[in-house]
Amino acid sequence: MKTTQNTALITGGSAGIGFEIAKVLSAKGNKVIITGRDKQRLDKALDQLSNATGIVSDVSKKEDAEALSATLTHDFPDLNLIINNAGRAILYDIANSNGAFDTAQDEILTNYLSVIRLNEYVLPLLKAQPEAAIVNVSSIVAFVPGNLPTYSASKAALHSYTQSLRIALERTSNVKVFELMPPLVDTEFSAIINGKSGIAPSVVAQEFIDALETDTYEIRVGKTQYIYDLYRKSPLEALNVMQPAH
């Protein structure tokens, strides 16, 4: 997949991994569209990017997704790259929580179902391009759950869906499907699980660009590769490694 002269949409692109990817793509001469729920944060991000547009949008809301799709069709008909990065993570005790269903519903909607919906809306645009790609940002916990139980489940679902979508689209279109699987990353998003001990989001962004250039469809960054290899060898050992210390 080419990494220059694309028109790229990045959901949740005003901070963290999404913003770092936006920075790299912007610097490489791509047209970048970032979305987020907070206009002030979007504006702050846009001040640090070139050739970029910000759209206030919440992927979990159907009306926002429909409006975003209409804007893309009208204003960005050359859209050829979508990076589904927006996410939701809630730390709670699954064994003692009275709100497990509501929490899981929130995470599954944002991290999984909203990705399917937005992909459905933008696929006609992507299919019309000479070269196009969908990137779903999952996680190391797509393979082995950590201390965010229903977040982990949502990313496992996204991983499975991404594989199915890749197979279906490579048979019927020129749309490539990538999955970016970061380990723990030092972002505001991961602060609830000691994100300060994670890798820099800029590292994730650069590894993503490198993988995009070489059509490496499953992008297992840093510790994710280690956990993936361990899981294939011993699922129980990998599970034990991923559990938080008590």
What structural domains does the chain harbor? 7-242 (3.40.50.720)
Annotated active-site residue 121? The verdict is: no
Residue closest to 54 by CA, chosen among 70, 38, 77: 38
Work out the angle between the directed axes of helices 114-127 and 149-172 (0-180°, nearest 10): 20
User: Each residue of 159-214: pLDDT tens digit?
Assistant: 999 999 999 999 999 999 999 999 988 776 666 666 666 789 999 999 999 999 99
The H or E element spanning position 66 is helix 62-75
Overall pTM surpassing 0.75 (yes/no) = yes
> Which residue out of 92, 151, 161, 228 is catalytically annotated?
151
User: Each residue of 2-29: pLDDT tens digit?
Assistant: 999 999 999 999 999 999 999 999 999 9
Residue closest to 114 by CA, chosen among 177, 69, 169, 168: 69
